[in-house]
Amino acid sequence: MHCGARHSERRSRLDRSSLSVEMSMILSASVIRVRDGLPLSASTDYEQGAGMQECRKYFKMLSRKLSQLPDRCTLKTGRYNINFISSLGVSYMMLCTENYPNVLAFSFLDELQKEFITTYNMMKTNTAIRPYCFIEFDNFIQRTKQRYNNPRSLSTKISLSDMQTEIKLRPPYQISMCELGSANGVTSAFSVDYKGAGKISSAHQRLEPASLSGIVAFILSLLCGALNLIRGFHAIESLLQSDGEDFNYIIAFFLGTAACLYQCYLLVYYTGWRNVKSFLTFGLICLCNMYLYELRNLWQLFFHVTVGAFVTLQIWLRQAQGKAPDYDV
């Protein structure tokens, strides 16, 4: 009797599991911080199974790459799709069956985004330390998921025409399995083209947040560039008035301006061989000031060289963001 009951219960579970796969539905959703992949909230009803466990691995892999991906993407993993949108440093990710309509999926994510932005300010999300510190948002995720899994309740509550138009004009970027890599943690480098997003590669990584000293260095470098530019124009005036001004001085002033501005660029953006470029640029600044020693006093030379060295140090200290911690997303 008990064996028969257990067999029948096991069979009913299998039937429900297969039915959930065949049905068009949302299975789970998560809210993740873009810069480091920290999970802020998530639905608490993950189903067990080989397919679902595999999708959780893809969730983790995507969460580590959010800062390098466009703001609207889809990953097809066979029987399941992972869709996400990102805005204001937060990403909203969901897992659904492969036959779930795209319009409904992104409308669901849009609702999560609007509610989360309304409920929590950016300061809270940026300063969050613990994973799932906004777990109470799960209540809204669950209610919204139930609505979107019941088409009858949606027909009178939302209008999908705007979302349909937006998806047609700007369809989500399709992440291929080759770009993502295998689910065992070995990922390939992202190098994709996307409408409105440009090319994404390791050469365009995000840098660590700017420190106060980095901001000061940026301002001082701009100031040195402006001073060199002004002196360069004065040198051109002297040359035109036939005051015997050396044309090489003009070149030195403008090279100094270009070097200062390039240091500002290296301080803000990540490029290949960034540290080497910064040292070479600092060398150019030193050479220009050595050539201009007759036109500048000792304090002016000291100021320009010291600022160049300070900016070079800040470029070296502000490196690309490292690998995100492996949070249990």
Is residue 30 located within the same domain as residue 171? yes
What is the percentage of the chain residues whose pLDDT exceeds 90? 23
Residues 6+ apart with CB under 8 A from 253: 228, 229, 231, 232, 235, 288, 292
Looking at residues 126-136, what average pLDDT do you find? 86
Question: Pick from 235, 283, 227, 230: which is nearest to 259 by CA?
Answer: 283
Query: Is 202 inside a domain boundary?
Result: no
Name the token pair of 191: 């190098």
Mean pLDDT of 223-230: 94
CA 320 to chain centre: 12
220 and 163 fall within a common domain: no
| DSSP type of residue 161 | H
Residue 40, domain CATH: 3.30.450.50
Confidence of residue 50 (pLDDT cuts 50, 70, 90): low
Asked whether residue 300 carries a pLDDT value surpassing 60, the answer given is yes
Indicate whether 145 belongs to any domain: yes
- Looking up tokens 């992972």 gives 82
- Residue with the larger pLDDT of the pair 203 and 26: 26
Question: Is residue 89 located within the same domain as residue 146?
Answer: yes
Note whether residue 281 is domain-resident: yes
219 and 173 in one domain?
A: no
Matching residue, tokens 């409105």: 196
For residue 204, is pLDDT > 60?
A: no
What would the pLDDT profile of 157-189 be if each residue is shown by its tens digit? 556 677 778 778 888 888 877 766 544 444 443
Q: For residues 62 and 322, is the Cβ–Cβ distance under 8 A?
A: no
Kindly state whether residues 92 and 223 are assigned to the same domain: no
- pLDDT band of 287, cuts 50, 70, 90: very high
Strand order in the sheet with 173-175: 39-42, 26-33, 90-97, 80-87, 72-76, 173-175
pLDDT at site 38? 86
Domain boundary among 155, 179, 203: 179
Could you tell me the pTM of the whole model?
A: 0.52
User: Do residues 31 and 116 make contact, with C-beta atoms less than 8 angstroms apart?
Assistant: yes
Higher pLDDT, 157 or 265: 265
* Pair 137, 239 in one domain: no
Q: Residue 11 domain-assigned?
A: no
Examine the domain organization and report whether 162 and 219 are in the same domain: no
Q: Which of 179, 200, 232 is the last residue of a domain?
A: 179
Q: Report the number of distinct structural domains present in the chain.
A: 2
> Do 103 and 154 reside in the same domain of the chain?
yes
User: Is residue 288 included in any domain, yes or no?
Assistant: yes
The verdict on residue 218 lying in a domain is: yes
The predicted structure's pLDDT at residue 200? 42
Stretch among 84-93, 143-152, 266-275, 319-328 having the lowest mean pLDDT = 319-328
Segments forming the whole domain that contains residue 259? 212-317
Whether residue 224 lies inside any domain: the answer is: yes
Same domain, 166 and 42: yes
Out of 157, 179, 201, pick the residue that ends a domain: 179
The answer to the question of residue 171 being in a domain is: yes
- Collapsing DSSP to helix, strand or coil, 30 comes out as strand
Banded pLDDT at 155 (limits 50, 70, 90): low
**Same domain, residue pair 309 and 239:** yes
Q: Are residues 161 and 228 in the same domain?
A: no
Helices (H), the chain: 2-22, 50-65, 102-119, 122-127, 138-148, 151-154, 161-169, 177-180, 212-240, 247-268, 274-291, 298-317
Provide the 8-state DSSP code for 169.
Answer: H
Whether 221 has a pLDDT exceeding 80, the answer reads yes
